[in-house]
């Protein structure tokens, strides 16, 4: 393995704190992502050895360097908290993959750090398995995300509302630098550290930006803005609700990070939230683009002094960069949803058609994933038979007929064969997503010691676009519907 420690060693000591976690009483590997381990140059046999388990559960490095807790601040539900930091997680270092890309290895649930505040630094098994399943599902869907390397039970019982088994999740990401990392220094007026962090971020994540380019911070902001316009579009396209889009969970790399109270839509509703703590629906499904822009604005505020010495010019520059978010998002969204309905070419009336379709499925309380997959079925695409699509809505089925007429009319502009369209649509509209009720069932069984539902769901989620009849695509029965998710800390 190629393990470095750049964040800990190349940056000043106020960026992170070394922590040596206590060993767990009885660490046991519950899940090990062997394909990912290989990609990262890690030998799964070694990871299963005592040394490997100490590496994954305590961050014990072969070179004996200490893992570190990263410092960051953040806006939590709009309120600024100047010091958050890794309160229950540690950065072990960076692993260079077989293809030469660098990934942070981060462990969550390793115990107290200088940033733990009132918390215990621990993580329960349920949230660790949830993160493992959902982040790996996002990866299989083709969406930028942190990934799960392993879940380890610690042998401890941790105190939440009820006593729960403790666990550690080992995850990798291009980087754990967040908007909140910039805010930590900017809030102290420490512009020098903001600049050090910005240059480190450029070097690590945006190698095409030159470090001697006087416009490099403009380029950084432009890239991050573009990546998030694309990321949030991809979330919307699969019905994903992050649930806690605080600036401390908002990456510079443009990856999905922090699978706390996240959830996927069952029934389509743009104002849907699941997170129990999101009482004001700040992070509702359809509000995510607006929040992404809000978070990018917070990043911009931190970078202002670096954009231009003259404040007014800096603000003007920042405006023109952020202004591009809306057009990028609009462009990406229309493209992706156009593909979801099977259109390859562009048509100026597409936005209208897409909005009408979404309004129809909203009124008809259709399951988001199911209706898009049904529109992508052989019957609908090859035979123009929309009977099953009609079945997806609970009322006003006549509106589906109107949509069908519009779609058929629109298809006259297309040149692809129906068979090609069918293939493309199935590769865009997943059959399987990690549905909330399935995850709850997995967690409930695992908490009682039965991990087989976890393994079968995980196996199915690896192929979200493939046809199949495993039952994992079915929307929840009324008595299975999950209304709320919790942070699980």
CB of residue 18 to ligand AMP, shortest distance in Å: 16
Choice between 123 and 321, CB closer to ligand AMP: 123
Binding segment (CB under 6 A) for ligand AMP, from list 79-87, 146-154, 388-396, 413-421: 79-87
The DSSP output letter for 485 is B
Instruction: Scan residues 235-254 and list those touching Mg ion (CB under 5 A).
Output: 249
Smallest distance, Å, CB 173 to ligand AMP? 14
With CB under 5 A as the contact rule, the residue among 86, 104, 131, 258 that binds Mg ion is 258
248 is catalytic: yes
Binding residues with ligand AMP: total (CB under 6 A): 18
Q: Which of 87, 114, 305, 475 binds ligand AMP (CB under 6 A)?
A: 87
Rounded CA separation 123/47 (Å): 21
Write the DSSP symbol of residue 22: P
8 Å CB contact between 172 and 146: yes
Contacted by 120, from Mg ion, ligand AMP, none: CB < 5 to 8 Å by type: ligand AMP
Residue in 4, 96, 97, 116 binding ligand AMP, rule: CB under 6 A = 116
Which CB, 296 or 460, lies closer to Mg ion?
296
Q: Does 122 bind ligand AMP (CB under 6 A)?
A: yes
445, burial (CB in 10 Å: exposed 0-12, middle 13-18, buried 19+)? middle
Q: In angstroms, what is the minimal distance from the CB of 100 to Mg ion?
A: 28
Minimal distance in Å, beta carbon 7 to Mg ion?
17
Distance between CA atoms of residues 488 and 130, nearest Å: 10
338 touches, from ligand AMP, Mg ion, none (C-beta below 5 to 8 Å by class)? none
> Left if phi > 0, otherwise alpha if psi is -120 to 50, otherwise beta: which for 441?
alpha
The percent helix, strand, coil of the chain (3-state, each to 5) is: 45, 15, 40
Helix 191-205 and helix 216-238: axis angle, to 10°? 60
Identify the active-site residue in 86, 190, 199, 248.
248
| Distance of alpha carbon 153 from alpha carbon 166, whole angstroms | 6
Whether the Cβ atoms of residue 270 and residue 361 lie closer than 8 Å to each other: no
Distance between CA atoms of residues 18 and 65, nearest Å: 9
Closer to Mg ion by Cβ: residue 116 or 397? 116
Please pick, from the candidates 60, 75, 88, 373, the single residue that binds ligand AMP as defined by CB under 6 A.
88
Q: Which stretch binds ligand AMP (CB under 6 A): 1-9, 36-44, 120-128, 278-286?
A: 120-128
Q: Could you tell me where the beta strands, DSSP code E, fall in 223-376?
A: 240-241, 263-264
The distance of closest approach from Cβ of residue 217 to ligand AMP in the complex, given in angstroms and rounded to an integer, is: 26
Q: Is 249 among the residues that bind ligand AMP (CB under 6 A)?
A: yes
- Sequence-distant (6+) residues with CB within 8 A of 302 are 179, 182, 183, 185, 186, 194
Please select the residue that binds ligand AMP; options are 258, 278, 317, 367, rule is CB under 6 A. 258
Kindly state whether residue 94 participates in binding Mg ion, applying the rule CB under 5 A. no
For residue 382, state whether it binds ligand AMP (rule: CB under 6 A). Answer: no
| DSSP-derived pairing of the beta strands 28-32 and 147-159 | antiparallel
Residue 135 binds Mg ion (CB under 5 A): no
Phi, psi of 321 (to 5 degrees): -75, -50
Q: Angle 136-29-97 (CA atoms, 0-180°, nearest 5)?
A: 50
Using rule CB under 6 A, residue 489 touches ligand AMP: yes
Task: State yes or no: residue 418 binds ligand AMP (CB under 6 A).
Answer: no
Distance, C-alpha 384 to centroid of its chain: 35
Toward ligand AMP, which CB reaches closer, 222 or 251? 251
Q: Which residue's beta carbon is nearest to the bound ligand AMP?
A: 119
Measure the CA–CA gap between 256 and 138, rounded to whole angstroms: 9
Q: Reduced to 3 states, what is the DSSP secondary structure of residue 372?
A: helix
**Contact residues for Mg ion (CB under 5 A)?**
249, 258
**Contact residues for ligand AMP (CB under 6 A)?**
84-88, 115-116, 119-122, 244, 248-249, 258, 260, 487, 489
Mind telling me the catalytic residues? 248
């Amino acid at each position: 393995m190629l393990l470095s420690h750049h964040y800990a060693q190349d940056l000043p000591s106020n960026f992170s704190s070394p922590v040596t976690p206590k060993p767990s009483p009885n660490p046991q590997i519950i899940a090990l992502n062997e394909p990912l381990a290989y990609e990262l140059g890690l030998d799964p046999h070694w990871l299963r050895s005592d040394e490997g388990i100490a590496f994954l559960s305590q961050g014990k490095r072969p070179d004996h360097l200490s893992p570190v807790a990263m410092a960051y601040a953040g806006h939590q539900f709009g309120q600024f908290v100047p010091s958050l930091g890794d309160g229950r997680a540690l950065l072990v270092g960076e692993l260079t993959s077989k293809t030469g890309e660098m990934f942070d290895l981060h462990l969550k649930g390793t115990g107290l750090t200088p940033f733990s505040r009132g918390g215990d630094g621990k993580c329960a098994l349920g949230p660790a398995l949830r993160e493992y399943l959902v982040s790996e599902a996002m990866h299989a869907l083709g969406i930028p995300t942190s990934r799960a390397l392993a879940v380890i039970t610690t042998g401890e019982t941790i105190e939440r509302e009820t006593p729960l088994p403790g666990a550690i999740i080992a995850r990798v990401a291009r980087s754990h630098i967040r908007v909140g990392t910039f805010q930590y220094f900017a809030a102290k007026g420490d512009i020098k550290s903001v600049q050090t962090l910005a240059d480190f971020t450029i070097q690590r994540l945006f190698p095409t930006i030159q470090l001697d380019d006087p416009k490099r911070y403009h380029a950084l902001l432009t890239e991050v803005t573009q990546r998030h316009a694309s990321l949030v579009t991809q979330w919307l396209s699969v019905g994903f609700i992050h649930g806690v889009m605080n600036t401390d969970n908002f990456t510079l790399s443009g990856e999905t990070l922090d699978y706390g109270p996240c959830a996927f839509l069952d029934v389509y509703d743009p104002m849907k939230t699941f997170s129990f703590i999101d009482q004001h629906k700040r992070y509702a499904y359809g509000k995510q683009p607006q929040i992404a822009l809000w978070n990018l604005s917070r990043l911009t505020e931190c970078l202002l002094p670096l954009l231009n010495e003259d404040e007014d010019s800096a603000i003007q520059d920042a405006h023109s960069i952020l202004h591009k978010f809306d057009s990028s998002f609009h462009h990406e969204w229309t493209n992706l949803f156009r593909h979801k309905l099977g259109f390859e070419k562009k048509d100026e009336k597409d936005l209208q058609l897409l909005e009408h379709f979404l309004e129809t499925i909203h009124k008809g309380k259709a399951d988001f994933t199911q209706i898009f997959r049904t529109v992508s079925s052989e019957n609908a695409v090859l035979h123009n038979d929309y009977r099953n699509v009609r079945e997806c809505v609970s009322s006003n089925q006549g509106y589906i007929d109107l949509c069908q007429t519009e779609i058929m009319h629109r298809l006259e502009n297309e040149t692809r064969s129906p068979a090609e369209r069918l293939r493309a649509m199935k590769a865009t509209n997943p059959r399987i997503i990690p549905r909330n009720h399935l995850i709850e069932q997995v967690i409930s069984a695992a908490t009682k010691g039965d991990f087989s539902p976890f393994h079968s769901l995980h196996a199915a989620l690896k192929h979200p676009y493939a046809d199949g009849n495993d039952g994992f695509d079915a929307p929840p029965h009324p008595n299975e519907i999950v209304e709320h998710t919790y942070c699980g800390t």
